[in-house]
Chains A and B, each alone.
Chain A
Amino acid sequence: MSPAKPSTATDDFVRCLWKENPTLVQLLGLCPTLAVTNSVANCLGMGSATMFVLVGSSFLVSVVRKWVPNEVRISAFILIIATFVTVADLALAAVAPGIHKALGAFVALIVVNCIILGRAEAFASRNPVGRSVLDAIGNGIGFTWMMLVMGSIREVLGNGTWLGFRIFGENFEPWVIMILPPGGFLTLGSILLVVGAWKHRQSERLRTRDLALAQEAA
């Protein structure tokens, strides 16, 4: 996904937040987005672990990009990523054992999160270190904030709490399905439908405006 015109370092950072958001637009890394977003605390743990791996592997891939032969680059990237994931896994188990247990196998599964290999292959292997790290941070934040949105919706509706704080009164009947697996699909599906409908309306509006302008000119 190389940009058509030369982009600045700020572009690398900003575009992943919305315009090329890994979750919303590119639909990458959906497994963790759906699997661990049943509570906000899990999202924070998963987000920071992914961010760490993303930044670390982008940095290292960018540093070694001139020495890695083209034929074995994917294997080399995967090995770099797996190393950082192992570090993140052990660190999380030491710092936050509760969250580590709740995330379970999904910490190890960061290895196969397509966002990370995607950024290593499409960006870090072709760009200088500074910009690769910025790009990784942008993607990490883009990924994390979408997870937080999902997590907030699911925890508030499914459990009546946000980050563990009770936000409804005693009489609130939790919508349990939202923190179960189907809730993940339904929440992300609804978000994508709303965003899709909004974009559709925008493009329709642009088209009618262009049509009106063309008629005026004629």
Chain B
Amino acid sequence: MGDLVWILVSTALVNNFTLMMFLGLCPFLGVSGKIDTGFRMGLANTFVLVMTSIAVWLLNTYILTAAPYLQLISFIVVIASLVQIVEMVIKKLSPALFRALGIYLPLITTNCAILGLAIFQTNRAYTLLEGIFFAIGGGLGLMLALVLMASIRESLELADVPKAARNMGLILILAGSLSLAFMGFAGLFSATS
């Protein structure tokens, strides 16, 4: 059990997908304008991450042992169809949630965090349960980064920033500072163990 908690916390904080491993930067920079959308995007991502983790585990255990070189191609196909299925299921079961997620749902297919999760999970040979905790941790980390960034950007709207600096550069510098802050979490484990 301790191992699972360790995976969860270290993926969410110490090795945060967005701020430490540069995965899922597109939504991080693209939809971090408002806290609300950032939160929903994070939620949708977490959901797809968990589904992907399970699917990848099945693929790795039962199918890809015969043809490991097809790994990448099968992962991307599985992720694309999974996102599509998830979209249809949510639309059927909860139209309200579907409307809330809107365009962000299909865009998740091209989010590198999802494929990244699949590859890291394979490289580290996680079991099914470890993989699920890895996915939840990664999703929570994405959500945390998105919400933090969105809240900074919301206050930035009112700040007096020089006109020449009103571009993505500023956002990246902010991300750098956030990333610096997250590096502090690295001490979380070396201190206790």
A 178-218 to B, binary, CB cutoff 8 A, 1 in contact else 0: 00111111101111111111001100000000000000000
* Residues of B within 8 A of A (CB-CB), count: 42
**Is B176 a contact partner of A185 (Cβ separation < 8 A)?**
yes
**Is A105 a contact partner of B77 (Cβ separation < 8 A)?**
no
- Pick from B20, B23, B29: contact of A27, CB below 8 A: B29
- 5 shortest interchain CB distances as A-B pairs: A192-B169, A189-B172, A185-B176, A193-B169, A189-B173
CA distance A132 to B173 in the complex (A): 35
* Inter-chain contacts of B55 with A (CB < 8 A): none
Query: Any chain A CB within 8 A of the CB of B88?
Result: no
**Is A189 a contact partner of B179 (Cβ separation < 8 A)?**
no
Closest to B166 in A: A196
- Pick from B70, B73, B115, B179: contact of A112, CB below 8 A: B115
CA distance A12 to B111 in the complex (A): 28
- With contact pairs A105-B119, A189-B170 given, residues A30 and B25 touching in the complex (Cβ less than 8 Å): yes
Contact surface of A with B, Cβ cutoff 8 Å? 27, 30-32, 34-35, 75, 78-79, 82-83, 85-86, 89-90, 104-105, 108-109, 111-112, 114, 117, 177, 180-186, 188-197, 200-201
Closest to B114 in A: A112
CA distance A108 to B114 in the complex (A): 12
CA distance A114 to B109 in the complex (A): 11
CA distance A117 to B163 in the complex (A): 33
B 63-87 contacts with A by CB, 8 A: 69-73, 76-77, 80
CA distance A35 to B179 in the complex (A): 13
CA distance A189 to B160 in the complex (A): 19
* Inter-chain contacts of A30 with B (CB < 8 A): 22, 25-26, 29
Query: Any chain A CB within 8 A of the CB of B123?
Result: yes
- Pick from A112, A182, A201: contact of B112, CB below 8 A: A112
Contact surface of B with A, Cβ cutoff 8 Å? 19-23, 25-26, 29, 69-73, 76-77, 80, 110-112, 115-116, 119-120, 123, 163-177, 179-180, 183
Of A75, A114, A117, A181, most buried by chain B (CB within 10 Å of CB) is A181
- With contact pairs A181-B20, A184-B22 given, residues A193 and B73 touching in the complex (Cβ less than 8 Å): no
- Pick from B116, B174, B177: contact of A105, CB below 8 A: B116
**Closest CB in chain A relative to B141 CB, distance in Å:** 13
CA distance A79 to B77 in the complex (A): 8
Other A-B pairs, 9, CB within 8 Å; known A114-B26, A186-B173, A192-B167: A78-B80, A108-B119, A109-B116, A112-B76, A112-B110, A112-B115, A183-B176, A192-B172, A196-B167
How many residue-residue contacts, CB under 8 A, span A and B? 118
Of B69, B70, B76, most buried by chain A (CB within 10 Å of CB) is B76
CA distance A86 to B64 in the complex (A): 15
* Inter-chain contacts of A35 with B (CB < 8 A): 21-22
8 pairs from A and B in contact (CB 8 Å cutoff): A79-B77, A105-B120, A108-B71, A182-B180, A186-B172, A196-B164, A196-B166, A201-B164
* Inter-chain contacts of A32 with B (CB < 8 A): 22
* Inter-chain contacts of B26 with A (CB < 8 A): 30, 114
CA distance A196 to B170 in the complex (A): 10
**Is A85 a contact partner of B72 (Cβ separation < 8 A)?**
yes
**Is A193 a contact partner of B116 (Cβ separation < 8 A)?**
no
**Is A196 a contact partner of B172 (Cβ separation < 8 A)?**
no
**Closest CB in chain A relative to B162 CB, distance in Å:** 8
- With contact pairs A109-B116, A111-B115 given, residues A182 and B183 touching in the complex (Cβ less than 8 Å): yes
Closest to B30 in A: A27
**Is B25 a contact partner of A34 (Cβ separation < 8 A)?**
yes
Closest to B173 in A: A189
**Is A182 a contact partner of B176 (Cβ separation < 8 A)?**
yes
- With contact pairs A182-B176, A189-B173, A189-B175 given, residues A111 and B22 touching in the complex (Cβ less than 8 Å): no
